[in-house]
Structure 1
């Protein structure tokens, strides 16, 4: 018997119990569909999409236990039993004392922004996220990016590109004054950087610095379990620590959190604001009644709160999180082997194509990431999304485009939905588009809404420069 070892194959830690048919329309139909959608993949009809990698938000497959929980929904207007189950799960797995349920993450972002931010404040964070930044601006604040420089370099192999640059953060505090910084926004598994994690060591340093200045940390914990998995894989001293314990430790270093439960927590709708300060919690309770719903449902049905409570427990299961991140790594490594420029290292929830490098013949004003996402859909019916100049928006004072360093197309993998065979189809399509990249033309705006323009903008083929 040979003593040499080889890597053994692995399979998803679940069986398929129900299937949802998908269809592939013809190339001519796809060309017509994307044109009708104004070359915006958000405006495509889902029935015209073959493999949907637009987002991992609310697109995961729930487990049999979650579906059983749906049948246990207590739809009482006040005091639903499912709310108390959810509050218990949040305290057990995350450690936060108080819970304010919301319809999804941006409901929590709105409440915390309105409660803590005053006109003229500055909110530092480890890279912006679209809805978070907008809520901060609408409350009168200015977002300031204090992430490490490596996060803006798609080819950097830094293992923790979501780390905070402590010098940038302290410089901001000294220049503006601690009283003008209501909190620091810390995201785990930073989306706009390519699903990149923050290290525990860095978060502990941020905690020590903010305590010195009396500044709270508000945690965007949308993908905290995925971040914890990377800490287990990459950070010395955590190799044998269960993911659930790493998650709990991350949360213990923060003062509160906003959660879009539609990601890590494996539900199709829902979110919450979690807090440790009782006075702030009472204010948030009062606000949720105005904007979301009563404080014991906050925009969610009882059945959804029950599914969420179960999903939180499942999200920190070792087999689940290994398979979830592993599928993303599988697709990313295929594309790297094919020579396709992607963000390194491969992140937790999606593979991010480097549109600037793939389409160097297009200027950023020709919207290369938007153009690449449209071309990918035409090739195979795979729906992805832009994360570049369109997502970055405009300066609210000057009206000029923000020009981010990263111009990316995100291939976002829903949890427990697609097989490795689907990933193979995606990889082959990306390779085909990459091989034909010189023929991809740019786009320009045809319609642009005032806020979060990437959702609803329409585009047209741009004239050659």
Structure 2
């Protein structure tokens, strides 16, 4: 039973099938282009889509909107220090703003940046600064049926082999993403974090933790890493983050807010000053960074709530329950489930669609067509030029949907699988110039028909 009750509701409705068909066609078969009013259950992302607590709403009324020296910023700074252990904070309007601030300060033309697996905006920021983003997942990460406890770990030996080729002097930063979103939201152990920190020292690189889902990761550590079986989620989070020189944070995940982010730094050295000045240029003054005082205040409360045991246990349990419901209905899913999302294996669900016809995007379109469910493809459409499996992410917003919504999602996915042979592959008909970001705005069409957009209604 959930440890909270709802005190605010937001009505949703399932459009008739013919209206969903029309909306999908008008969106260029890219669900990012759908209006939220046309979506019944929205699992596109867990970023900024969760429900804030009454304590967070109350904090917003007390937000200090001062341009400089905001008390709300000092509240956030104290929360970051207490919960995450970083002494210094450079605020940003959201996670990708923080990535711009940090990686724009660290990465130059010709550099190599390692990560257990770069996510889309991280990869794009590295590339935009002239760097080469190199993924270093452990081998078991690609085994969707393995029950290995930490499939999100970083493979240090893979990174060492690359260093032998490029030279340590060309590796300015090593990144560890917890949990590993690109690898099905799988957790990272504290033991692996220590190993990666030692490797970063070995090559004289700045060690950065992408901490967007640090609390969910700490929950898995508590359950799966014997050393921490008796430790609290809060204590585990501080321990794991303590090995990093810096962190990049999207508050829209484990900050439990709808906007906001920051760079956290252990020391007030040269990197802090570079980030601070870059933040002033791109985000705003260093005590608001693109956020209102209201947002800063809610963020400070949300960070503390994220490590509260009932919250994080229920959060992860809801995702596990969705994974089990899908598996029970025969939908092929990545096992075990991560902390924020369930990932469907579209290659197995739609085996007749060749990989160059984007079976993951086909599955995404059918989820919406069948039941008004919006998800996102994280395979070869989202990550062109890679050989990733064609996964479909069902990201669960925090404290938002109930068990009946999750049952609808599972039933919808099962219905898509049942008539899978009827589903066509797709081709891209327009895309932006930056391939790392094409899934946000590209348009497609099904290969079984030449499908122009619907003409404007008369």
For the aligned pair, the TM-score class normalised by the smaller chain equals: over 0.9
SS state at 1:295 partner: coil
1:217 and 2:216 matched: no
Is there any run of 5+ residues in structure 2 with no aligned partner, and where?
450-458
Distance (Å, rounded) in 1 between the aligned partners of 2:112 and 2:328 = 42
Partner of 1:7: none
Of the three residues 31, 39, 43, the one matched with 2:33 is 43
- The separation in 2 between residues aligned to 1:103 and 1:426, in whole angstroms, is 31
Query: What CA distance in whole angstroms lies between the structure 2 residues aligned with 1:183 and 1:457?
Result: 31
Aligned counterpart in structure 2 of residue 296 of structure 1, from 273, 287, 292: 287
> Residue 205 of structure 2 aligns to a residue in which SS?
coil
Alignment of 1:429-448 (within 5 A): 429-448=412-431
Task: Tell me which residue corresponds to 1:159.
Answer: 149
Which aligned pairs between 1:404-415 and structure 2 lie closer than 5 A? 404-415=387-398
Encode CA deviations 1:407-438: one digit per residue, 9 max, x unaligned.
11111100000011111111111111111111
What is the Cα deviation at residue 77 of structure 1?
Answer: 1.0
Please give the alpha-carbon distance, in whole angstroms, between the structure 1 residues aligned to 2:217 and 2:209: 12
Residue 115 of structure 1 pairs with residue 119 of structure 2: no
Q: What's 1:132 paired with?
A: 122
How big is the shift at 1:150?
1.5
Q: How large is the Cα RMSD of the aligned pairs?
A: 1.1
Q: Give the TM-score of the pair, scaled to structure 1.
A: 0.94
Post-superposition offset of 1:47: 0.5
Deviations 1:18-64 (A, max 9, x none): 11100111011111111111111111111011111110000000000
1:362-377 paired onto structure 2 within 5 Å: 362-377=353-368
1:82 aligns with 2:72: yes
After TM superposition, list the pairs within 5 Å mapping 1:249-328 onto structure 2.
249-278=239-268, 279-328=270-319
Q: Deviations over 1:202-258 (max 9, x none)?
A: 111122222233222111100011111111111112112100011101110111011
Q: 1:196 aligns with which of 177, 186, 190?
A: 186
Q: CA deviation at 1:463?
A: 4.3
Structure 1: which 5+ residue stretches go unaligned? 1-10, 394-401
Q: What is the TM-score when the length of structure 2 is the normalising length? A: 0.96
**Runs of 4+ in structure 1 over 4 Å off:** none
The offset of 1:447, in angstroms, is 1.2
Q: Work out whether residues 171 and 203 of structure 2, in 8 Å CA contact, stay in contact via their aligned partners in 1.
A: no
The match for 2:53 is 63
Is residue 438 of structure 2 the alignment partner of residue 453 of structure 1? yes
Aligned to 1:5: none
Q: Equivalents in 2 of 1:209, 1:289: separation in Å? A: 32
User: Do the aligned partners of 2:360 and 2:391 also contact (CA within 8 Å) in 1?
Assistant: yes
Number of aligned pairs?
446
SS in 2 for 1:411: strand
